[in-house]
Amino acid sequence: AEYMGSAINRLAGVKHYIDNFLPQKNKLKKTRPAHEMASLHDLETANSLSTQSQPTFGINNKFEPGYDLITCAALGERPQVPSRDDNDDAEVGEVEYAMMMDEEGRIPDSQSLMDKVFRGGIRPTLRSILWKYMLGYFDYDKTYEANMAQRKLLEDEYFRVKLQWKTFSESQLSNFAELREKKTLIEKDVIRTDRRDDFFKGNLEDNINLCKLYDILMTFCFYNFDLGYMQGMSDLLAPILMIMEDEVDAFWCFVGLMKHCVCLVCQLLSV
């Protein structure tokens, strides 16, 4: 009973906010029957309340005991953003990228690179390289040779995980309800991904890119059992695959993106 009473109070507060604070256009005026009309005293009280000045910020807790009605949020003063030179907004190209690397291919000042990317973006011809770093596939502090050696190890791991679901028999799949559900969802999402783009036109039988998209998502289900596949992941993977083109590179960049997303969600939930 206490829970229901609290819920009713909160619904009443929402209705109060809609009726009194949100603008209502073209609202039809209806005349109520005489027996439903409020008394003169009630009308005078309501008019006096409506003429009271509304607070410009903060919380109004006078509406109903135990209920806080937020009337307006204080945004504070607008921050002063320093102006930047036009050169700061230039996209990162091959020349800027080469200047940031040392002789062995490391990128010592990765933060400066990230700032430039944030302000100006990346030249399309360089995205397939820098996205590997930004999504955690390559390490800024490793040499070029070390990153390529790491890529070889990750390539072998990818095909090992892929082989697990590729070798499932029909009888095994019939006893794995969760995988069947994910598989069906992936099949539906893959063929609906960016249909207007030539890269994904067609179907799984005649478009190798759709096959890559499907294989990467299925492999990710086995790589990360806890997260698996959720609707919409195909849309996050699609631009990565278009830029990388290589199935292995796209998979590990997608893994890095999912790690970032999970960390962000965990931070939001902890607030």
Q: What is the pLDDT of residues 45-72, one digit of tens each?
A: 555 554 454 444 444 445 555 555 556 6
Rounded Cα gap, residues 266 and 271, in angstroms: 9
The secondary structure of residue 231, as a DSSP letter, is: T
> At residue 192, what is the residue type?
R
Q: How high is the pLDDT of residue 54?
A: 46
Query: Do residues 123 and 92 lie in contact, with contact meaning Cβ atoms separated by under 8 Å?
Result: yes
Q: How high is the pLDDT of residue 57?
A: 42
Q: How high is the pLDDT of residue 68?
A: 57
Q: What is the CA radius of gyration of the chain?
A: 29
Three-state secondary-structure class, residue 235: helix
Query: Do residues 124 and 92 lie in contact, with contact meaning Cβ atoms separated by under 8 Å?
Result: no
Beta bridge partners of 69: 60
Q: Give this prediction's pTM.
A: 0.65
Three-state secondary-structure class, residue 122: strand
Q: With a cut of 50, list the residues of the chain below it in pLDDT.
A: 3-4, 25-28, 50-51, 53-61
Torsion 212-213-214-216 (CA) sign: positive
Is beta strand 58-64 parallel, antiparallel or unpaired with respect to 67-72? antiparallel
Three-state secondary-structure class, residue 93: coil
Q: What is the DSSP annotation of 27-81?
A: PPP-PPPGGGSPPHHHHHHHHHHHTSPPPSSEEEEEEETTEEEEEE----SPPPP
Rounded Cα gap, residues 246 and 243, in angstroms: 9
Q: How high is the pLDDT of residue 55?
A: 44
The half-sphere exposure of 95 on its side-chain side, counting CA atoms within 13 A, is 2
